[in-house]
Structure 1
Amino acid sequence: MKKALLGLTLTFSLHALAAPVQVANSQDGDILTNEAGMSLYVFDKDAQGMSNCNDQCAVNWPPLAAGADDQAEGDYGIVTRADGSRQWSYQGQPLYLWVKDQAAGDTTGDGVKEVWHLARP
């Protein structure tokens, strides 16, 4: 929506961006995926509302990034990472992708080192 005010044009956003997450049915049951259908994961070593996956871990397990204008809603929250970037979470658990998943529907990260698990609704 645009509104002229004293010769200035201001632009307002009517909606904050929602979590880029959807529920998909996989061979492992219902799971959370990103908008492209790539599986999302949670990490046992994370604390509620805090990511403990940094540096090389975050290279292998890319955080599901949240933009500056994104807003938490319902079960979907946003955590601030150690480097100051923002990451989506589900019920307080930060969400990640797995670098070795190559196509939508891949779930190869489930059970890695017994600390990575598919995110489930």
Structure 2
Amino acid sequence: MVDTTAAQDGRTGTGGTVVGAATQEIPPQWVQLSAVSSPPLGSPHLININQAALYRFDNDTASPSQSACNDDCAAQWPPVTIKQGGNIYLAGVSPQQIGAIQRQDGLIQITVGGWPVYRYAGDTKPGDLNGQGIGGTWFAIGPTGEKVTR
């Protein structure tokens, strides 16, 4: 992990991350997590290098960190994964909040404040927050893993 942005480390592109329903063929080499404030949410929430909103699931657990979203759920809510040994770049997020778990499918999923992190397949363009509040269990994730509700 590195407490700088990908750009500050000379990285360009996306590291292999994707947006929306696009299938991520292999885990990315690096991931950028940035805290931003954008309407309709007033509190800071996380986005990736593609400006895709990132989410947490209330049915997961943070202590111990465990994902309850697998199979069909993970197709709709793709986990934010990284290649073993890959770099996580941060902007507005403390390195102490970042971790990782091994999922049922063997992939390494990033956690923030212990909470597994996801994208939403229904977010098709940068800045979308279409997953916010779905089922009363999916919420934008804040810089310490908190759910952002407003």
Give the Cα–Cα distance (whole angstroms) in 1 for the partners of residues 80 and 141 of structure 2: 12
Number of the residue aligned with 1:24: 36
Residue 24 of structure 1 deviates from its aligned partner by 1.6
Give the Cα–Cα distance (whole angstroms) in 2 for the partners of residues 80 and 52 of structure 1: 12
The 5-angstrom pairing of residues 49-88 of structure 1 reads 49-70=65-86, 73-88=95-110
What do residues 10-32 of structure 1 show as CA deviations (whole Å, max 9, x unaligned)?
xxxxxxx7652111221102110
Residue 70 of structure 1 deviates from its aligned partner by 2.8
Please, what is the CA RMSD of the aligned residues? 1.6
In structure 2, stretches of 5+ residues that fail to align are 1-28, 89-94, 144-150
In structure 1, stretches of 5+ residues that fail to align are 1-16
What do residues 6-61 of structure 1 show as CA deviations (whole Å, max 9, x unaligned)?
xxxxxxxxxxx765211122110211011111000000000121111000000000
Q: Percent identity?
A: 31
Give the Cα–Cα distance (whole angstroms) in 2 for the partners of residues 71 and 103 of structure 1: 24
Q: Give the TM-score normalised by structure 2.
A: 0.65
Number of the residue aligned with 2:9: none
Give the Cα–Cα distance (whole angstroms) in 2 for the partners of residues 25 and 103 of structure 1: 17
Give the Cα–Cα distance (whole angstroms) in 2 for the partners of residues 119 and 44 of structure 1: 11
Cα distance change on mapping 1:39 and 1:107 into 2, 3 Å: same
What do residues 68-96 of structure 1 show as CA deviations (whole Å, max 9, x unaligned)?
11368421111110111110010000000
Give the Cα–Cα distance (whole angstroms) in 1 for the partners of residues 109 and 73 of structure 2: 14
Q: Give the TM-score normalised by structure 1.
A: 0.80
